[in-house]
Amino acid sequence: MKVSGRLDIAIDILSQLGKQICRYANDFLINDITNWGHRFPERAYEPNDDYWFILLRSVAQSSASATDRFGVVRKCGKATSRGVVEAVVESLGDIASEDAMTELKKYLVHEDPFIARLAASILESR
């Protein structure tokens, strides 16, 4: 089985948690940043891209309100990790609310050409 298949399975399962996955993602973000600060004070925060991809896509595809889903995803929008930013862009497309689409348009001019192309592709498909 390919890794992407495993990621998709994890997303499908976690998205079933609805509003609980949003609460978990909020808590995890705070704990993740805090733990990095305590465990590695001399190093910059380095999130686990696969973990965050699964978590953010699960939030975006959950049955929680679009406002709650957007709020969680948007908090990760300033990430410095390409993998997390990719997850944010994909998740905004999953949410597809007016606010999410407005936010997604901001990524059309992202400094990373891959992210800009991804945003354009998602917007074109809507």
- Global confidence as pTM: 0.87
- Per-residue pLDDT of 75-124, as tens digits, reads 999 888 899 999 999 999 999 999 999 999 999 999 999 999 999 999 99
- Per-residue pLDDT of 20-59, as tens digits, reads 999 999 998 888 777 666 666 666 667 788 999 999 999 9
Assess whether pLDDT exceeds 60 at residue 68.
yes
Q: Mutual orientation of helices 82-95 and 66-75 as an angle, nearest 10°?
A: 170
Whether the CB-CB separation of 111 and 78 falls below 8 Å is answered with: no
Apex 50 CA angle, 91 and 11, nearest 5: 55
What integer pLDDT is reported at residue 112 of this predicted model?
97
Q: Where are the domains of the chain?
A: 3-124
Which residue type does 25 have? A
Q: Given pLDDT bands bounded at 50, 70 and 90, which one contains residue 3?
A: very low
Centroid of chain to Cα 38: 24
Whether the CB-CB separation of 74 and 101 falls below 8 Å is answered with: no
